[in-house]
Amino acid sequence: MSDSNLQQAFYGTVIYSENLEKISILENALLVVDGRGSIAAVEADVQKEKVSERLEALNASELSVTELKKGQFIMPGFVDTHNHAPQWLHRGQGQGLHILEWLNQVAFHNESLFKDPSHARRVYPMVVNGMLRQGVTTASYYGSLHGEATKILADVCLEMGQRALVGKCNMARNAPDFYVDSSVEESLQVTRDCISHIQRLDPKGDLIRHVLTPRFAICCDESLLEGLGEIAQENPTMAIQTHFDESEQEKNFTMTLFPQFTNEADLYEKFNLLNQRSILAHCTIMTPYETERLQQLGCGVAHCPTSNMTVGGGFMAAPIKDFLHRGMKVGLGTDSGGGYSISMLNAMRHSLVNSFARDFLDARDGSAAVTMEEAFHMATIGGARVVGFGEEVGDFTVGKQFDALLVDISEARGGITAPLEDADTLRTMLEKFIMTGDDRNIARVYVRGRLVHSG
């Protein structure tokens, strides 16, 4: 390893999820990033006076080191597994409406505005900048149904350095005339055009990838689902995202549209849209059969606790603990603007609250309650696995890419975090950030070793 391919180093507290049961907290750790943005070394318990010696052993004696102070630590970037980029401007509106009423009264009108490319060019930099400010280094975005706007979203993500999945939203029915694909053929052609654009933009898919995005079966007839299933089979590594068992109202309507099916799992599987690349948002009202089928197929779940508790017509508590016990992939999503907040910290907190309700409904013995370890896991490496980037990011395994946050909960940040006390452990420091911190505590954001936000 030569000096020329080492980029930067950090010395201090490094925190990441090792597994669902364990958060690794490395004290006096030396973390080295190479020029490609990958993690070259992570060593714990390095005495301060030995840092130069360790860098020399790595042939990096000239490398400058960012020394973390009390109250600062490095952790993996957040992964938002479910976000509606064109809903940025109307977040928080229509809270309490049932999901279908919310779509028709709030979401569809606002999303339709992205027919104008200039609107997309104005709004999407706000979206990506705001997400990076919140520490979201990877996001799975639903675009609008417009091809040009979807391309602009992908362009902006790449330009601003955010890792992202971007998809043109397919919806050919059960939406207002002003916001619906003109035909199934057009919907599929625009999808293929967006795929080509994103593949030209980032041929290897290092940062930006296309994701097939049938909004949900309510907006897609059989011919559109068949066409999207064909595209999925033609692109065996491409992710697929949709809404799944989001609410009782949504599920009932879906079954009336597809009376030949008795559940959503069989419906989507029939059209080749359920597999290990599927990102299924919500999954709140699951039958045992559906859960078992998703487990068998290796599907990922995008758990969106904030929107599940505020939009849809009821407090919907997904059986997340059951999914985790089964070894299913589960990540967190903000579902903005169905969820009013783009904060992954809020998503973590609400995943805890949501699970406590699930525990009260199901067991009352704690077996359905999510732990802090599990919430942290879902927000980082769990989410990365759901969206297909688990081999590249999500923890600090040597060789993975350095997507990371420099967190600072010291008084100097001027936030509202619970103050750090002299007697606090490093675990307490982490918990104070998760439960009382906000974006003011996210001092720097890195994607693939590149500084993409500092505040």
Q: What single string gives the DSSP state of each residue in 201-241?
A: HSTT-SSEEEEEEE--GGG--HHHHHHHHHHHHHSTT-EEE
Average pLDDT over residues 307-334: 90
Note the pLDDT of residue 101: 92
Q: How far apart are CA 334 and CA 140, in angstroms?
A: 10
Average pLDDT over residues 255-281: 98
Average pLDDT over residues 327-353: 95
Confidence of residue 3 (pLDDT cuts 50, 70, 90): very low
Note the pLDDT of residue 312: 65
Average pLDDT over residues 162-174: 98
Note the pLDDT of residue 183: 97
Note the pLDDT of residue 1: 31
Note the pLDDT of residue 4: 41
Note the pLDDT of residue 314: 67
* pLDDT tens digits for range 80-104: 999 999 999 999 898 878 889 999 9
Note the pLDDT of residue 5: 63
Q: Is the pLDDT of residue 292 over 80?
A: yes
Confidence of residue 367 (pLDDT cuts 50, 70, 90): confident
Q: Give the domain 8-76+396-454 fold.
A: Urease, subunit C; domain 1 (2.30.40)
Q: Is the pLDDT of residue 7 over 90?
A: no
Note the pLDDT of residue 310: 86
Query: Is 8-76+396-454's fold the same as 78-387's?
Result: no
Torsion of CA 178, 179, 185, 187, to 10 degrees: 150
Q: Which two tokens stand for residue 406?
A: 């420099």
Note the pLDDT of residue 360: 86
Q: How far apart are CA 430 and CA 26, in angstroms?
A: 12
Tell me the CA distances in angstroms from 65 to 2, 10, 408, one per residue in order.
16, 5, 17
Q: What is the CATH number of domain 78-387?
A: 3.20.20.140
Q: How far apart are CA 321 and CA 373, in angstroms?
A: 12
How would you class 287 by CB atoms within 10 Å of its CB: exposed for 0-12, middle for 13-18, buried for 19 or more?
middle
Q: Which of 256 and 64 is assigned the larger pLDDT?
A: 256
Note the pLDDT of residue 262: 97
Query: What percent of the chain lies above the pLDDT cut of 90?
Result: 88
* pLDDT tens digits for range 399-429: 999 999 999 999 999 888 999 999 999 999 9
Q: How far apart are CA 81 and CA 101, in angstroms?
A: 24
Average pLDDT over residues 307-330: 89
Average pLDDT over residues 434-455: 97
* pLDDT tens digits for range 188-197: 999 999 999 9
Confidence of residue 21 (pLDDT cuts 50, 70, 90): very high
Give the domain ranges of the chain: 8-76+396-454, 78-387
Angle of CA points 154, 175, 233, to nearest 5°: 50
Note the pLDDT of residue 415: 84
Q: Please state whether beta strands 329-332 and 163-167 pair in parallel, antiparallel, or not at all (unpaired).
A: unpaired
Query: What percent of the chain lies above the pLDDT cut of 70?
Result: 98
